[in-house]
Amino acid sequence: MLEFPYPANEKERLTSLAGYQLMDSGEEKEFDEIATIASAICGIPIALITFIDEKRQWFKAHIGTDFTENLREISFCTHAIAGGEDIMIIEDATLDARFANNPMVTGPTKLVYYAGVPLINEDGYALGTICVLDQKKHTLSPVQIAGLKSLGRQIVDKIELKRKVAKLEEANQELINSNLLIQKFASMAAHDIKNPLANILLTSQLLKRGMDKNEDERSLKLIEVNISSTNALLSLVDEMLDYSRSPSQLIARKQKIKLKVLFERIKELLAAPENFAIEFHSDLEEIHYSSIAMEQILLNLISNAIRYNDKAKGWVKVILTEQEGSYQLKVEDNGIGIAEEHHQKIFENNFTLNIADRYKKKGTGIGLSTVKDLLYVLQGSIALNSTLGKGTSFVLELKK
């Protein structure tokens, strides 16, 4: 293996190169045209636009040769990007100690002449070259050298523009996704608000009847339930408002969550029927995660488990464990189950099974799609395992 020089900032250079996604990006007419112009200006048959990663030199454009890449260790351009000069010219490679034994010189290609201009981006990293090569000697005039350098700057301008356009498109897509997520989130949260509101209405009605009969002790207990539900509702609304103002808070506002407090809060908000048991299991006392996301995920999955359960004694078990780099959340129930052909569709927006729940109401198709969207933003995942008539299990990976 031939020894070759590395740029002083090689690690940073490779990171910068990766950000452009240029390697193996395919040929493009505009780069081919620049290489053609380089060949014509210099009067040299072979012209390349190359980019160099850790091991390879890949040709974005190649005029006068069918080759599309080369090993970095035998590439002339490897020396050009490490030299720190605005152009590297080798008039006779057979007489240059660096290249005299190079397979590109001694082998079938029999290269003699090379002139390469490093493609230096706006951060100062040499990503590759525009170069011309031949099997015989040449001498470039100052005008030809200036022309080759000018073409090099045009290439850098093009790749910088392409990178900025890609970033703008990515930012625009994130904005679109955020807006859709807000709409879905608001719809689902509005549905969740109905549970504590129903508690408030019911307990208020019972409270009035109790007070009429002077059952003070019972009335005080009902008042406590009323206050608890009201506080839970106000807290949920406050979180909704915070998130609607800034979707980024979903990620940025990760905090320590006391699991015992969280689980009690979920139970209060859901108010499960008497024949339904909600079990929480975890050896952890707290986790570091987005509180609002965790609440919405649990509320949706558990409320679905309650609504779509036809057993005399229904149950849902929530199991939270810790793994390296993530938490695993498992929510399983003994409900009606989901047919296998619907396992993927169930996460699509507005998709429903068209089945009435225990309250004789049909779903909106918003909940599970919102859970999946929340997990996407938080770089998590959700998997489904279900048997029709026996129950369903959701397994979520929550990135720390």
| Distance from C-alpha of 44 to C-alpha of 145, rounded to nearest angstrom | 12
Answer for the pair 121, 160: CB distance below 8 angstroms, yes or no.
yes
Span of 100-109, 234-243, 259-268 with lowest mean pLDDT? 234-243
- pLDDT for position 215: 62
Handedness of CA 298, 316, 198, 359 (dihedral sign): positive
CA-angle at 61, arms to 134 and 47, nearest 5°: 20
Q: State yes or no: pLDDT of 241 exceeds 70.
A: no
Q: Alpha helix locations (H) across the chain?
A: 10-20, 29-42, 76-82, 103-106, 142-212, 216-245, 249-252, 259-270, 291-307, 367-377
The bridge status of strand 314-323 relative to strand 276-282 is parallel
Residue 149 lies in a domain: no
- pLDDT for position 135: 95
Last residue of a domain, one of 118, 140, 162: 140
Q: How far is CA 267 from the centre of its chain?
A: 32
The bridge status of strand 126-134 relative to strand 113-120 is antiparallel
Give the total number of structural domains in the chain: 2
Q: Both 27 and 122 in a single domain?
A: yes
Span of 30-39, 147-156, 329-338, 343-352 with lowest mean pLDDT? 343-352
Q: Both 335 and 226 in a single domain?
A: yes
Q: Both 205 and 307 in a single domain?
A: yes
- Pairwise pLDDT comparison (336 vs 1), residue with the higher score: 336
Helix (H, G, I), strand (E, B) or coil at 225: helix
| Distance from C-alpha of 176 to C-alpha of 180, rounded to nearest angstrom | 6
Q: Both 81 and 213 in a single domain?
A: no
List the one residue out of 63, 57, 77, 74 whose CA is nearest residue 108.
74
- pLDDT for position 1: 45
Answer for the pair 352, 363: CB distance below 8 angstroms, yes or no.
yes
Residue 287 lies in a domain: yes
| Distance from C-alpha of 249 to C-alpha of 182, rounded to nearest angstrom | 12
Angle of helix 216-245 relative to helix 259-270, nearest 10 degrees, comes to: 110
Q: Both 253 and 369 in a single domain?
A: yes
Residue appearing with tokens 């590439």: 75
DSSP 308-320: T--SSSEEEEEEE
Span of 98-102, 263-267, 281-285 with lowest mean pLDDT? 263-267
- pLDDT for position 91: 94
Residue 1 lies in a domain: no
Determine the average pLDDT of the residues in 225-247: 65
Last residue of a domain, one of 119, 140, 161: 140
Measured CA distances, 357 to 134, 236, 363 (Å): 77, 25, 8
Instruction: Name, in order, each residue with C-beta under 8 angstroms of 32's C-beta and a sequence gap of 6 or more.
Output: 61, 63
Residue 152 lies in a domain: no
Q: State yes or no: pLDDT of 208 exceeds 60.
A: yes
Residue 154 lies in a domain: no
- pLDDT for position 362: 76
Q: State yes or no: pLDDT of 126 exceeds 70.
A: yes
Q: Both 175 and 317 in a single domain?
A: yes
**Band of residue 273 on the pLDDT scale cut at 50, 70, 90:** confident
Q: Both 122 and 204 in a single domain?
A: no
* CATH at residue 350: 3.30.565.10
Q: Both 49 and 97 in a single domain?
A: yes
Helix (H, G, I), strand (E, B) or coil at 162: helix
205: which 2 tokens? 């009605």
Q: Both 392 and 310 in a single domain?
A: yes
- pLDDT for position 358: 82
List the one residue out of 128, 133, 103, 108 whose CA is nearest residue 118.
128
Highest mean pLDDT among 188-197, 249-258, 287-296, 308-317: 308-317
Instruction: Name, in order, each residue with C-beta under 8 angstroms of 359's C-beta and a sequence gap of 6 or more.
Output: 307
- pLDDT for position 234: 65
Q: Both 215 and 310 in a single domain?
A: yes
Q: Alpha helix locations (H) across 213-258?
A: 216-245, 249-252
Using one digit for the tens of pLDDT, what is the confidence trace for 276-305? 999 999 999 999 998 878 888 999 999 999
Residue 166 lies in a domain: no
Using one digit for the tens of pLDDT, what is the confidence trace for 36-91? 999 999 999 999 999 999 999 999 999 999 999 999 999 999 999 998 889 999 99
* CATH at residue 77: 3.30.450.40
Task: DSSP letter for 393, please.
Answer: E
Q: Both 293 and 194 in a single domain?
A: yes
Instruction: Give the global pTM.
Output: 0.49
Determine the average pLDDT of the residues in 365-391: 88
Q: What number of other Cβ atoms are within 10 A of residue 18's Cβ?
A: 12
Determine the average pLDDT of the residues in 226-232: 69
The amino acid present at 156, given as its one-letter code, is V
Residue 5 lies in a domain: no
Q: Domain range spanning residue 48?
A: 10-140
Q: Strand locations in 262-313, DSSP E? A: 276-282, 286-290
- pLDDT for position 125: 94
Mean per-residue pLDDT over the chain, rounded = 86
Measured CA distances, 25 to 40, 49, 324 (Å): 25, 13, 35
Q: How much of the chain, in percent, has pLDDT values that exceed 70?
A: 82
Residue 165 lies in a domain: no
Last residue of a domain, one of 117, 140, 163: 140
Q: Both 99 and 184 in a single domain?
A: no
